[in-house]
Chain A
Amino acid sequence: MPGKTIEKKNIGHQVFTVVMWAVGILMVMPFVMMVVISFRTQGEAYDPIFAPFTPILRNYEQVLGHVNFLDWYGNTFKTVIITILIRLAVTLPASYAFSRIQFRGSRLIMAVLMATLMVPGETTMVPRYLYFSNIHLLDSIWVIILPEISEVFYLMLMSEFFRSIPEDLSEAAKIDGLGHLKILLTIFIPLSGPAIATTVLFSFINIWNNFLDPYLFISSIDHQLITPALRFFQGRGGADVPVQLAGASVATIPIIILFIFTQKYFVAGVSSSGIKG
């Protein structure tokens, strides 16, 4: 009987929906705990998550009241914004050249660029450290920014996007006598809003969450970025879990909010990058 199968299907579908929701909630449970416990006193830290308690702000006062807290936040934003601007300025022209102009050596250069993607930063931290020390780059946000500007991932992402722009458009412009730079500026960049948004978002997330580089390369407390700075709140070891969690919340909540509002670009970026193969 068709009616019965539909009903059966419906129940199956409802179970499926419930399961997906349950797993989803499980996925974000760590964040829920992080926020809830960060409003508790030390003594209540290990009480059950749903246990009633009077929220306190003391932990946040301790985190936000840290002398250098605004420095860390400010440095992180400065680093992110400067990186994004320079990154776009160098990556957009290069992507255009690689995707739209034939030139000798383009394959070779691309091959070298791609090959370095295979080498994780962990394996090169020692020479990077020694080299940046030699050229006196350590202990400023530039030691994070300069190596970040030529990230091959974004070159691939942007090139792939440019390739998807119809050939006719640039051909027509060429016939009109426009040079490459003009074409890039007046046709390609205005069309590449989504790709730029993706670049901005990914840059933001990656630089914000970078731990190893700033931890290793930056030594002054007032030059530090927010993620390594979280370790300043670990001075008290396992003792003050709520304060540590308050620090963690402060470092993650802004980026989660940003992400929720810009998810569209995030998803579009992943699927339009060169990853499709």
Chain B
Amino acid sequence: MKKIALVAILALLIALPAFAGGSSEKSASDERVVTTVCRASYANEVWYNEMNKAFEEETGIHVIVQPTPGNDEDHDAKVNIDLTAGSKIDVIPSLGPRYYAARVEAGFFVPLRELVEGRGINADEIYGANLPVEEDGDYYALPSKIEAYCIFYNKDLFDKAGVPYPSTTEPWTWEDYKETAIALTDASAGVYGSFMNAENPWLIIATVQQEDPFYKEDGTCNFDTPLRREAIEYYYDMTKVSKCQMPVDEIMNENVSWNYYAMAGDHLAMYSQGNWFTRLLNSQEDYPRDWRYGIARTPAPEGYNNNIVSAAYNSINVNAEHPEEALEYVLWLADNQWKFEGGIPAYATMTEEDRQTAFGSIAEASDGQITVDDLYNCLVNNGMGAVQSDIIGTAADEYNRIANEELQAYFLDLQDLDTTMGNITRRVNEAIQSYE
């Protein structure tokens, strides 16, 4: 009996690969294809697949997508590993300037000016400051969208607490934000007034807006500044003193991931995030939600009127197997990705039509909870300057991680602020040195 079962199992095990072999059909050789990579989370997203389908229909070029296992950080590390190994993937997306800059430095990307201008396109004019022009005057990517930060809030919790909704047309400060959050917090009901992720830039968000430099003039670490301490104390106060923001230990216990607010926003009154998050809040299928949401501007520190804005870039790998198709895909994404993703185009100026396209469908999908004007006023027409969310420069990736690790330890009350600052400065300087 046992033997028969054993044989049966083994037979089953051996037979399986045969099925697998049948499932992976190869595309015909004369078909035009382009290959790209994406995060594991993107691969399941409807918009991403629809975008690629639309590209295929329009151009006849088949898009082959390689998702990477693990979380978003793993993704960028893995892409670097593959590029180092001479990956032949055609189009490489870089979210934010940090990875983009390092990859350009490493010579992974094809310079695009000549190719793009050869198509009669003046990218400098179209994308303005959003075009990542390097010191050599060339650019190695086209921006496909920008993400502007804003505050999402739970209207039901505001109503319940009797607090008026934040304005979409007037600026407000982080102190205003904290007061609002305190008024919304209801510990007995498990409601927190504020929810910000326990990572950069949120841990030091005010100093990012203040453009407090991360490096000293001699290139060493400049993390320990009075402004930075103030920003860190602010987050600390929110979590441990005013208790109006979900504390870091709870954030870790909840295993909070990028989509947490879309699922747990019913007890989190305000959430600071990029505008891309509307996609999740509007997706009733993936994230069923029984509360109404609104949108507000990112608060700014007193005297600094900057919003955090980051761009997404698409580049062509120097080892690309299909360089022509790659160019085609990169150009198309620059004009179309934002439409599918529900984002903001990276154009220098937005026409009325762009505004309608970008925000119209979002407003519509929100079922009247937010309007085109809300979106436009909070994200674009807010009179705010734009600053980058990432630390950029020598050992930026390590810098960012070290700051995250040490600050988290501080917010968990494992070490005091002086130790934290000392650790960050020491470790970052060690990292910077090892790059020399």
Q: Does A5 contact B (CB under 8 A)?
A: no
B residues 224-257 near A (Cβ < 8 Å) are 254-257
A residues 222-275 near B (Cβ < 8 Å) are 222, 224, 228-232, 234-239, 254, 257-258, 261-262
Q: Does A31 contact B (CB under 8 A)?
A: no
Q: Which residue of A lies closest to B13 (CB)?
A: A77
Chain B residues with Cβ under 8 A from A153's Cβ? none
Q: Does B17 contact A (CB under 8 A)?
A: yes
Q: Which residue of A lies closest to B41 (CB)?
A: A235
Q: Does A182 contact B (CB under 8 A)?
A: no
Q: Does A194 contact B (CB under 8 A)?
A: no
Interface of B, secondary structure class, is helix
Report yes or no: B263 in contact with A239, Cβ–Cβ below 8 A: yes
Q: Using a Cβ cutoff of 8 Å, how many contacts connect chains A and B?
A: 101
B residues 2-30 near A (Cβ < 8 Å) are 2, 5-6, 9, 13-14, 16-21, 23-24
Chain A residues with Cβ under 8 A from B5's Cβ? 261
Report yes or no: B13 in contact with A237, Cβ–Cβ below 8 A: no
Report yes or no: B6 in contact with A77, Cβ–Cβ below 8 A: no
Chain B residues with Cβ under 8 A from A229's Cβ? 69
Report yes or no: A219 in contact with B87, Cβ–Cβ below 8 A: yes
* Given A74-B16, A231-B70, A234-B71: A239 touches B260 (CB 8 Å cut-off): yes
When the two chains form the complex, which single residue of A71, A81, A138 contacts B14, counting CB atoms closer than 8 Å?
A81
Q: Which residue of A lies closest to B20 (CB)?
A: A74
Report yes or no: B16 in contact with A73, Cβ–Cβ below 8 A: yes
When the two chains form the complex, which single residue of B9, B85, B259 contacts A138, counting CB atoms closer than 8 Å?
B85
A238-B257 Cα distance, complex, nearest whole Å: 6
Report yes or no: A78 in contact with B17, Cβ–Cβ below 8 A: yes
Q: Does B405 contact A (CB under 8 A)?
A: no
One digit per residue, 1 when the CB lies within 8 angstroms of any chain A CB and 0 when it does not, for chain B 381-407 equals: 000000000000000000000000000
* Shortest CB distance B287–A (Å): 9
When the two chains form the complex, which single residue of A81, A215, A231 contacts B40, counting CB atoms closer than 8 Å?
A231
Q: Does A10 contact B (CB under 8 A)?
A: no
Report yes or no: A237 in contact with B6, Cβ–Cβ below 8 A: no
Q: Does B258 contact A (CB under 8 A)?
A: yes
Q: Does B415 contact A (CB under 8 A)?
A: no
Give the most central of B13, B23, B43: most A CB within 10 Å.
B13
* Shortest CB distance A42–B (Å): 8
B residues 73-119 near A (Cβ < 8 Å) are 74, 78, 81-82, 84-87
Report yes or no: A70 in contact with B20, Cβ–Cβ below 8 A: yes
* Shortest CB distance B229–A (Å): 31
Give the most central of A77, A129, A219: most B CB within 10 Å.
A219
Report yes or no: A77 in contact with B17, Cβ–Cβ below 8 A: yes
* Shortest CB distance A185–B (Å): 24
A81-B16 Cα distance, complex, nearest whole Å: 12
Q: Does A206 contact B (CB under 8 A)?
A: no
A213-B180 Cα distance, complex, nearest whole Å: 50
Q: Does A210 contact B (CB under 8 A)?
A: no
Q: Does A216 contact B (CB under 8 A)?
A: yes
Report yes or no: A237 in contact with B259, Cβ–Cβ below 8 A: yes
Q: Does B67 contact A (CB under 8 A)?
A: yes
Report yes or no: B44 in contact with A235, Cβ–Cβ below 8 A: yes
Chain B residues with Cβ under 8 A from A221's Cβ? 66-69
* Shortest CB distance B27–A (Å): 12
Report yes or no: B258 in contact with A237, Cβ–Cβ below 8 A: yes
Q: Does B39 contact A (CB under 8 A)?
A: yes
Chain A residues with Cβ under 8 A from B257's Cβ? 236-239
* Given A215-B69, A229-B69: A234 touches B40 (CB 8 Å cut-off): yes
Report yes or no: B13 in contact with A254, Cβ–Cβ below 8 A: yes
B residues 175-196 near A (Cβ < 8 Å) are none
A129-B77 Cα distance, complex, nearest whole Å: 14
A231-B67 Cα distance, complex, nearest whole Å: 11
Q: Which residue of B lies closest to A216 (CB)?
A: B81
Chain A residues with Cβ under 8 A from B9's Cβ? 254, 257-258, 261
A175-B23 Cα distance, complex, nearest whole Å: 55
Report yes or no: A231 in contact with B17, Cβ–Cβ below 8 A: no
* Given A231-B74, A262-B6: A237 touches B19 (CB 8 Å cut-off): no
Chain A residues with Cβ under 8 A from B78's Cβ? 219
Report yes or no: B20 in contact with A75, Cβ–Cβ below 8 A: yes
Q: Which residue of A lies closest to B17 (CB)?
A: A74
Chain B residues with Cβ under 8 A from A258's Cβ? 9, 13
* Shortest CB distance B279–A (Å): 15
Q: Does A133 contact B (CB under 8 A)?
A: yes
When the two chains form the complex, which single residue of A73, A220, A234, A236 contacts B20, counting CB atoms closer than 8 Å?
A73
Chain B residues with Cβ under 8 A from A215's Cβ? 69
Report yes or no: A70 in contact with B23, Cβ–Cβ below 8 A: yes
Q: Which residue of A lies closest to B19 (CB)?
A: A70
* Shortest CB distance A128–B (Å): 12
* Given A229-B69, A262-B6: A238 touches B40 (CB 8 Å cut-off): no
Chain A residues with Cβ under 8 A from B16's Cβ? 70, 73-74, 77
Report yes or no: B67 in contact with A232, Cβ–Cβ below 8 A: yes
Give the most central of A230, A235, A258: most B CB within 10 Å.
A235
When the two chains form the complex, which single residue of B2, B14, B21, B254 contacts A238, counting CB atoms closer than 8 Å?
B254
Chain A residues with Cβ under 8 A from B258's Cβ? 237
Chain B residues with Cβ under 8 A from A74's Cβ? 16-21
Report yes or no: B254 in contact with A235, Cβ–Cβ below 8 A: no
Chain B residues with Cβ under 8 A from A228's Cβ? 69
A216-B85 Cα distance, complex, nearest whole Å: 11
A232-B42 Cα distance, complex, nearest whole Å: 11
Chain B residues with Cβ under 8 A from A238's Cβ? 254-257, 260
A residues 48-82 near B (Cβ < 8 Å) are 70-71, 73-75, 77-78, 81
A231-B78 Cα distance, complex, nearest whole Å: 13
Report yes or no: A77 in contact with B14, Cβ–Cβ below 8 A: yes
Counting from the closest, the 8 A-B pairs by CB-CB distance are: A237-B257, A238-B255, A74-B20, A231-B69, A235-B40, A235-B41, A74-B17, A70-B20
17 contacting pairs across A/B (C-beta < 8 A): A70-B16, A71-B23, A74-B17, A77-B17, A78-B17, A129-B81, A215-B69, A219-B87, A221-B69, A231-B69, A231-B70, A234-B70, A235-B71, A237-B71, A237-B255, A237-B257, A239-B259
Other contacts beyond A231-B40, A235-B39: 8, CB < 8 A: A71-B23, A74-B21, A77-B17, A81-B17, A129-B85, A236-B257, A238-B255, A239-B263
